Amino acid sequence: MGAFVDGILNIDPVLAYALVTCLVFAEDALFLGFLIPGETAAVLGGVIASRGEGQLWLMMVLVILAAVLGDTAGYEVGRHFGPRLLALKILDRHRARLQKAQDFLRRRGGSAVFLGRFIAFFRAVMPGLAGIARMPYQRFLAFNAAGGVVWGAGFVLLGFLAGNSYEAVANTVGRDLAAAAAVLAVVALVILRLRGVRRERQAADGS
């Protein structure tokens, strides 16, 4: 992995743009999140910009577009080929996590698409699962775009600020963001529950 990372950091900037974009896209589009580290690719994009070998704003734009378009491709793959993909033997050892992702999607709907962007395995499979579940595309796109903007800009900026400390960032930020996403999910559930209670009270007062 180290040689691969060093190779990205030392190639022509145009090729670096293309490779980072392709890695982020492929992670979300092809159910490959457990093989291709999209977080690492985005962080490396920021490192490249910090070395003056690329433009920070351009790297952010490319990573965000790759994330959003990759999720859209994953959604379409899931919508058209989902059941066949889920039956692949390569996914057998991930059945428990796939079931958790499907349960999360059923419970949270669009917010699962947004929050799933910050958890490596969910980021790879959530678009496809949304397609399988026939989530309305406009709803999917709204949460997909919001997650792509926050995630893409955030990780590239992390790499830019970290500079040559990218390895420590890439190794720890995944765990930290997973914990943060879990906290956000709990907070969102509490807020939604409180809103539900408030609506029930208002309906009772009006009746």
Asked if 50 and 160 touch (Cβ cutoff 8 Å), the reply is: yes
* Residue 93: DSSP 8-state: G
Tell me, yes or no, whether 180 lies in a domain.
no
Tell me, yes or no, whether 72 lies in a domain.
yes
If phi > 0 it is left, if psi is from -120 to 50 it is alpha, else beta; for residue 81 that is: alpha
* Structural domain harbouring 14: 2-171
The per-residue pLDDT string of the chain (207 residues; one tens digit each, 9 = 90 and over) reads 455 556 666 778 888 899 899 889 988 776 655 555 678 888 888 888 888 888 999 999 999 999 999 999 999 988 888 777 777 776 777 788 888 888 888 888 888 899 888 887 788 888 988 998 889 999 999 999 999 999 999 989 888 887 766 555 555 555 444 444 444 444 454 555 555 556 656 666 655
Tell me, yes or no, whether 193 lies in a domain.
no
Residue 13: exposure state from Cβ atoms within 10 A (0-12, 13-18, ≥19): middle
Alpha helices in 10-136 (DSSP H): 13-29, 38-50, 56-86, 95-108, 110-116, 120-132
* Of 55, 188, 169, 19, residue with least CA distance to 115: 188
Tell me, yes or no, whether 97 lies in a domain.
yes
How many independent structural domains does the chain possess? 1
